[in-house]
Copies of this chain bind each other. A is one copy, B any other.
Amino acid sequence: MTEDNLTHNDEIDRVVEAWQRELPQLDVSPMLVLSRVSRLARHFERRRRAVFSADGLAPWEVDVLAELRRSAPSYELSPGDLAHATLSDSATMTSRIDRLADKGFVERYPDPDDRRGVRVRLCPNGFRAVERALADLMICEYEMLAALTPDQRTELGQLLRLILVVFDAQGRPKSPPIGPKLPATPSSVTPTPGI
């Protein structure tokens, strides 16, 4: 019965097949890439949560600490930098820094060059935590890619980059890089950024 020839294997294959049956006039083939990306990201996030919980950390904590760790040798960034780097809201970052400071992982101090600004510095405590978490994470990630050959991993990374480059290149504007783009009523917005 279920002896399909290699083509119908994961959940997305079944989803796309169902859409083609229900809405034959709609081309849902982009799902074969993007729904898989979403779904895989959710699985990955669950793994990250499990791995980090062994160290008493949450994924968002590692995200922030890792950003600071990589900013060596100063080990400090502004909240705005952190928000942009982690693709999160500015208000979210304020809250995150509060909690990380409470745990002694980072400390805040006023930016000497700009009185509006703040600098967030990584404490030794956070330094050790993030390095341990990262090592654990790499073991987990390595396992997740076990089904791929080295060449396939390289190829997969390159293909994903082709899509990401569009976002990260024009990524400077903190506003959503591309507007809602003609859903039903283009309400006089979105000057059509050149893709």
Contacts and interface: CB of A to CB of B under 8 A. Distances in A.
Interface of A: 9-13, 15, 18-19, 22-23, 26-34, 36-47, 50-51, 53-55, 69-70, 72, 85, 87, 131-132, 134-136, 138-148, 152-157, 159-169, 171, 176, 178-186, 190, 192, 195
Contact of A50 (B47, B53, B142, B179): B179
A43 B167 contact: yes
Contact of A159 (B156, B166, B176, B178): B156
**Total copies of this chain within the assembly:** 2
Q: From A19, A42, A157, A171, name the one whose CB has the most chain B CB atoms within 10 angstroms.
A: A157
Contacts of A22: 69-70, 72
B136 A34 contact: no
A161 B45 contact: no
Nearest to A34: B141
Consensus secondary structure, chain A interface: helix
A50 B148 CA distance: 34
A101 B36 CA distance: 29
Contacts of A162: 147-148, 152
A18 B70 contact: yes
A55 B44 CA distance: 30
B161 A36 contact: yes
